Amino acid sequence: MEKLQLVNFISKVMEESGFKVYKDFKTSQKVIDIYGVLPSVMGDFSVVVACKNYDKQWEVGIDILKEMEMIGRNLKASKVVIVTSSIFSSQSRNYASKKNIKLIDRDNLMILAKKIF
């Protein structure tokens, strides 16, 4: 899967869930893959998403999580999500669980795809 396909797939899932999706969203310092806003009567729920298309064996490290956490904080996002076609390091998984960051790895991506198609 190429990165654009991954971004488009996640965008489609979010749109079908009611999100208004902005791809290649420009912040003051970075461009993030997806910024989604889910309007609700209690206020908007916003999500920043990074899509990382790596080889199957590549482990996504904690540096990406920290970068996205900072961007999420600057945008006052409700949630940070990192999606990868590979796996996350154990350090990344531990960090994410403490920081309420949603991680979607290769296996969870396949489960998501089966639900959609």
Q: What is the C-alpha to C-alpha distance for residues 10 and 59, in angstroms, rounded to an integer?
A: 20
CA-to-CA dists, residue 32 to 64, 68, 116, angstroms? 12, 8, 24
Q: Residue 1's pLDDT band (boundaries 50, 70, 90)?
A: low
Q: Is the pLDDT of residue 86 over 70?
A: yes
**pTM for the full predicted model:** 0.92
Q: What is the C-alpha to C-alpha distance for residues 9 and 59, in angstroms, rounded to an integer?
A: 21
Q: What is the C-alpha to C-alpha distance for residues 60 and 66, in angstroms, rounded to an integer?
A: 12
